Amino acid sequence: MKPIQAAITGVQGYVPEYVLSNAELEKMVDTTDEWITSRTGIKERRLLKGEGLGASYMGIQAAKGLLEKTQTDAKEIDMLICATATPDMVFPATANLIAQGIGCTADCLSYDIMAACSGFLFALTTASKFIETGVFKKIIVVGTDKMSSIIDYTDRQTCVIFGDGAGAVLLEANTEGNGLIDHILRSDGAGSEFLYMKAGGSRYPASTQTVANKEHYVTQHGSVVFKHAVKNMADTSYELVQRNGLSADEIAYLVPHQANLRIIDATAERLGLNPNKVLINIQRYGNTTNGTIPLCLWDFESQFKKGDNLVLAAFGGGFTWGAAYLKWAY
């Protein structure tokens, strides 16, 4: 029997209509378009507006579009994993809400994975094991985050970086040698003090005091996070490429988490890649956390050819990081 790989057979994205530009941010905080662009590469980001709309809303839009695009019936989906750092609620799982929203049946197993900005990569590799072992045939992996819900728009350290968005991929079995080939995933809790949201969990439940202290917003020690992101994302990607005997010429594209353009450039340089092999849309969406990688796949899907070697890489709070090597299946 030929080995089974979990292949991406479809991808779809969703971003809200509202555009928050650097020019608008200049009116909100002490910053400039030049400062933001030179340090992050971001020109604008999308924000989800509307009462009662959370991460599941964007996930549903992306997943619905994916079903339509691939002509797949929701009742055929065996599993749905949602990677998110901004769940609608502590429970039920945002994945459950998305599965219900797209018409999946009770036979569809759904749950969330939380690994900050690396969550989509962790979810993708987790889902692949269910395909490779023959347990499930069709799995949807969603990355969705409404980062605007946990950002302090008076803090220029964070408000210039993040945006809202979602992406979804369909995974199916492949015996042609295409699909997820290898991955390296890592985490280190020592990084938890440098990028976190303090309140809202069981350690510091919501109270008038936590709200007054702005503890329900993202706190980031930018310089420390930057150094760790540059080293770990680049090193892991390089290790993965070396392990699989891939030269820079054999890599079609690097699909990096869109956190900061300088981090992306460092990873590409470590792999010896020309800029035209690096997929970048951070200038339009900012850092959508779990949405960045699937949104990149969606934006550049038309450029991919069957058999293309793609390297996916991410780094997130916690710290979490990793890289995956896959061959494009269509």
**Among all residues, which ones are annotated catalytic?**
117, 257, 287
Separation CA 28–CA 26 (nearest Å)? 6
Q: Decide the pairing of beta strands 109-113 and 5-14.
A: unpaired
Distance of CA 102 to the CA centre of its chain: 20
Burial environment of residue 317 by CB neighbours within 10 A (0 to 12, 13 to 18, 19 or more): buried
The percent helix, strand, coil of the chain (3-state, each to 5) is 40, 25, 35
Residue type, position 20, single letter:
L
Q: Contact 4/134 with Cβ under 8 angstroms?
A: yes
Q: Compute the radius of gyration of the chain from its Cα atoms.
A: 19
